[in-house]
Amino acid sequence: MVQIDKTIAAKLQKVVKQFAGKEIKFQNVGEMVIDSNKVNAKVESVDGKYEIEYSTKTGEVWSVCGSISIDKISKKDQDKALQELKRIYPNKTYVFEKEVKAVREYDNKKAKFKEETWYTFRGENFDISLIKNSLTTRSFGAMIKFDAKELEPKLLKTASEAVKMVLDQDFNLTTEAKLIPGEFDYKNNLSLYKWALEGNDVLVEIEAKSDKVLNVIHETRHKQKVTTNKEITEKDAKEVIAPMAKKLFNIDITGYEVKWDNLFKDYRFVKGEETMVRAALDADKNVVYIKSGSRAAAGN
C-alpha cells in the first residue's frame, strides 16, 4: 500500500478534473505497481469509476482511466466497434453497456493529456478496444466468450485430437471458450483471431479462420520441464517433436536447426533466423508445450 501525501494528492485531483470535467474524490492510499524498474502507484476513486497511475518518486502522472457515458462517444466510433465485432464473429448479437472505459496518457511537461484516447466497450460476454486520435480510429483487439453449446463440434474435435496426440490425455472444455487476437495479417493489416479453449489444465489455441492448431500448452506441467539441454539433447528433442510438428502444424522441422533457449528453458526449431516451432519437455520426454507462430517466436 502507498500513502499519498497532500502535495501529490492535490496534483492528482487537478489532473483527474481535467479528465472528468468535475471533482472526483479519491482514496487516501494506493497500490504499488512495479513496471520496467519504475516504481509507480495506482489510486482508485472512492466510487471505483476512476483510476490514476503516477510515479511515487517524481509525482509524474502516467495515465488516467475512467468510466464515461457511451453517449459521449460518436455514433461513427460505436459503429466501428460493432463492425469489428461482427467481422470477428458475425453470428452473435452485440449490445454495448451504457458506460465505456476510457484511458488517456498524460504529458507532464505540457500539463495536459496526450491526443490518443483508448476506449473499451463492454457487453455481455465480450469487450472491444478502440484507439482514437484526431485523424483515425482503429481497433486494438477484442475478446468474445462462448458457452460450450455455442461451439461447433468440429472445433472441439480438433482440440481433443490435438491434446490426445501431444499430451496423451483427454480434453474436456471446463471454462468458457474465448475468441482473442492471434497472428497478425500484415498483408491485409488486421488481426487473425484465435480460439482459446481450456480444460483439464490444458490450453489449446486454434486459428478461427483456418481451424489450424497454433499452440498446445499444459498449464500445470511447467515446473516439470527440463532446465538444461544435458537432460535431453537437442537431437533427442527433435526426434520427439518432429512428428508432432508435422501433424499438428504441417511444419517439417527435420532440416531445421535446434537451439536450446536458456532463458525459457525450451527448444527452438529454427529456419534461417526465424523460430518456427518451440517446445518444452519433461525428463521422461513428455511434452509440456508445443507452440507455433508468434508464440514460438516470442517465447510467451
Residue 4 is classified by DSSP as P
CB 123 within 8 A of CB 94: yes
Alpha helices in the chain (DSSP H): 6-20, 75-88, 153-167, 234-249, 293-298
pLDDT exceeds 60 at position 279:
yes
Q: How confident is the model at residue 104 (pLDDT cuts 50, 70, 90)?
A: very high
| Bridge pairing between strands 2-3 and 177-185 | unpaired
pLDDT exceeds 60 at position 36:
no
Identify the three-state secondary structure at position 122.
strand
Task: Give the chain's mean pLDDT.
Answer: 93
Measure CA of the first residue to CA of the last residue in the chain; give whole Å. 30
pTM given for the model? 0.88
Q: Per-residue b/e over 44-60, b at no fewer than 16 CB within 10 Å?
A: ebeeeebbbbbbbeeeb
pLDDT 10s digits, 172-226: 998 889 999 998 888 887 888 999 999 999 999 999 999 999 999 999 998 999 9
Identify the three-state secondary structure at position 222.
helix
Give the Cα separation of 87 and 103 in Å (integer): 25
